[in-house]
Amino acid sequence: MTALTLPEPLATYFTAAPSLDGAEAIVRCFSPQALVKDEGRSHVGHDAIRAWQRQASSQYRYTSEPFAVAPTDGGCLVTSRVTGNFPGSPVDLRYHFQLAGGLITSLEITL
């Protein structure tokens, strides 16, 4: 698989997300009032994003391997193969990122 070139906050996000210790690195990728939408729930702000990441990484063990990236208006769409100990594994997820000022302002994760 060819390595992708991702904007810095996205590269950090995909590196840190599966880690139990990744919450603080993840939070630094997001603007203070960023919005994350995942599994039908919304998480706004650093505290909520930290709690969301900690819950996901403590509940499941997984790896995420981005394999496609496409620019969008104000951000990019990354498709990643996620494999782990969760129902339906493996799955290709679409990460819809919006960026501003070098930070993620929103992220929506979909199938």
CATH, residue 21: 3.10.450.50
- The continuous run of DSSP H or E covering 50 comes out as helix 45-59
Pair type for strands 30-38 and 103-110: parallel
In a domain, 103, yes or no: yes
User: Into how many domains does the chain fold?
Assistant: 1
What six digits make up the tokens of 18? 């599966």
Q: Judging by beta carbons within 10 Å of its beta carbon (0-12, 13-18, 19+), is residue 37 exposed, middle or buried?
A: middle
In a domain, 15, yes or no: yes
Q: Which domain holds residue 63?
A: 8-110
In a domain, 1, yes or no: no
**Residues in the chain, pLDDT under 50:** 1
pLDDT of residue 1: 47
In a domain, 37, yes or no: yes
